[in-house]
Amino acid sequence: MHAGTVRHRHDTSAVNPRAAHLSLALRHVAEASGQISRAGIAARTGLNRSTASSLIDELINGGLVKETGATTRNRAGRPGTALALRDDGPAGLGVDVNVDYTAVCVVDLTGAVRYKHVVAEDQRGHTNTGIRHRIATLAHTARTAAATSGLTLSGSAVAVPGIVDRTRATVTLAPNLGWRDLDVTEVLPGDVHGLLDNEANFAALSEATLLHDRASYLYVSGQIGVGAGIVLDGRLYRGTHGWSGEIGHLTVDRDGPACPCGRRGCLERYAGQEAILRAAGVSSDPGTSLGVRPTVALIADRARTGDPATLAALTRAGEVLGATLAGCLNLLDLGHVVLGGIYRDLAPWIAPEVEREVATQFLGAPWARPTVEVAAYGPEAPAIGAARSVIHDILSDPLRWLNR
């Protein structure tokens, strides 16, 4: 009998009680930052007051929590010193190596984006050494910017457009970059190491704190392919091997056009960037300097002028995307969809179609109509999500930072 790879036998939080208690206290501060005292932490965690107080002292001494100087009152009316997350403590560095741009960003413990920089440049003509050099330069500037704000980078995370093996820090396959079984140290400078993940997964996390700390949603990112990030109770669901979210190869029509994956009629043959361009009658020559973003901007321009072929292409893409998303919502029972990547840029034409399909085809719609929202961030979304994942790791296990 065989079952999928098992990632962890027990939650880390359960194995080390001290880490679990510190995390619990820190997450309660995070949820009610500036509005909670030591007594409030004790009440919400169920820990006794002296334990809660000593945990808070440890978090204060470690530079994660501060006393704001303000006073809170508990239900009995007793005053207490308000606690808040520090915004001058640890920070996460996020890096996104994409086909036609590189992005970096810095996020502080409160989840706020403190620095970001996107450089548009096609990576495909560059050697791995050239890519590493560019990342090193960008990371150095980000690190300097963080230090200027009093922040200390506690770790980094790297988004790539492909399938990754997180445990081996290897990019298994990133077809558009020509990477296969690539050890990431070949493209990452020595001071940028950390968790790897697929760009759609990290992009999904960029929405996490904007929604609710424990929200569940499907983030769909339109690119040349169509990827998704599944967030359950505020955490990225990565799957057995870390390959979750391959929504682009759900079947729209078994007798549809052939897909490079070997199947027919996959979603990306209808709603991927190339499919939209083709249906709109716009040529997409990767040899031109047009690049991905300008091409999408061109589509948006044509749609605004009312070009019939473009409008029909977008309507059709939105319909098929919406129907497929409705199927995903039926399978996963998620109540919220976020449209990212090119769907964010093309939202005025895509989003209404998606909303309509989802509202009519989600089986639970009579009881709970799903909501569809446009992503808050554009090309910087994966880098922001990557940086936030570093912060999530500190919130889950503050000892990572305290024992550094």
- Which residues 204-233 are close enough to bind its own copies by CB under 8 A? 210-212, 214-217, 228, 230, 232-233
The answer to whether 288 contacts its own copies (rule: CB under 8 A) is: no
The set of residues, in sequence order, having a beta carbon less than 8 Å from that of 95 and lying 6+ positions away, is 102, 103, 104, 135, 138, 139, 156, 157, 158, 159, 188, 192, 383, 386
What does DSSP assign to residue 103?
A: E
Taking the least distance from each CB to its own copies, the nearer of 155 and 318 is 318
The residue among 91 and 373 lying less far from its own copies, judged by its C-beta, is 373
**Contact status: 108 vs its own copies (CB under 8 A):** no
Angstrom CA distances, 78 to 37, 60, 332, 365, stand at: 10, 22, 45, 46
Candidate list 72, 154, 244, 389; residue touching its own copies; CB under 8 A: 244
**255 scored as a contact of its own copies (CB under 8 A):** yes
Q: Per CB under 8 A, does 133 bind its own copies?
A: no
The whole-angstrom separation of Cα 227 and Cα 219 is 8
What are the residues whose beta carbons fall under 8 Å from the beta carbon of 306, sequence distance 6 or more? Answer: none
364 interacts with its own copies by CB under 8 A: yes
Minimum CB distance to its own copies smaller for 48 or for 305: 48
If one asks whether residue 371 binds its own copies (CB under 8 A), the answer comes out as yes
Selected from 53, 251, 284, 315, the binder of its own copies by CB under 8 A is 251
| SS3 assignment, position 179 | strand
Q: Of 110, 330, 378, 396, which one interacts with its own copies (CB under 8 A)?
A: 330
Q: Three-class SS of residue 252?
A: coil
The interface mask with its own copies, positions 333-362, x = CB under 8 A, is xxxx-----------------------xx-
Burial class from Cβ neighbours inside 10 Å (0-12, 13-18, 19+) for residue 357 reads: buried
Question: Segment 146-175, which members bind its own copies (CB under 8 A)?
Answer: 163, 172
257-276 binders of its own copies (CB under 8 A) = 261-263
Nearest approach, Cβ of residue 27 and its own copies (Å): 8
What phi and psi values does residue 286 have, to the nearest 5 degrees?
-65, -15
Nearer to its own copies, 115 or 270 (CB): 270
User: Under rule CB under 8 A, which residues in 372-391 are in contact with its own copies?
Assistant: 373
CB of 192 to its own copies, least distance (A): 26
CA distance 137 to 126: 15
Q: Counting every residue, how long is the chain?
A: 404
The footprint of its own copies on this chain (CB under 8 A) covers a number of residues equal to: 77
Rule CB under 8 A: is residue 5 a binding residue for its own copies? yes
Cα–Cα distance for residue pair 139/25, rounded to 1 Å? 32
Min separation Cβ 137 and its own copies, Å: 33
Q: What is the DSSP letter of 197?
A: E
For the segment 309-328, give every residue that binds its own copies (CB under 8 A): 320, 323-324, 326-328
Shortest gap between Cβ of 111 and its own copies (angstroms)? Answer: 15
Question: Which CB contacts under 8 angstroms, 24+ apart, belong to 281-289?
Answer: 281/309, 281/310, 281/313, 282/310
C-alpha span between 197 and 348 (Å, rounded): 30
Task: Give the Cα separation of 399 and 401 in Å (integer).
Answer: 5
**Per-residue binding letters, 57-96, with its own copies (x by CB under 8 A):** ----------------------------------------
Q: Per-residue string for binding with its own copies, 20-59, x by CB under 8 A?
A: xx--x--x-----------------xxx------------
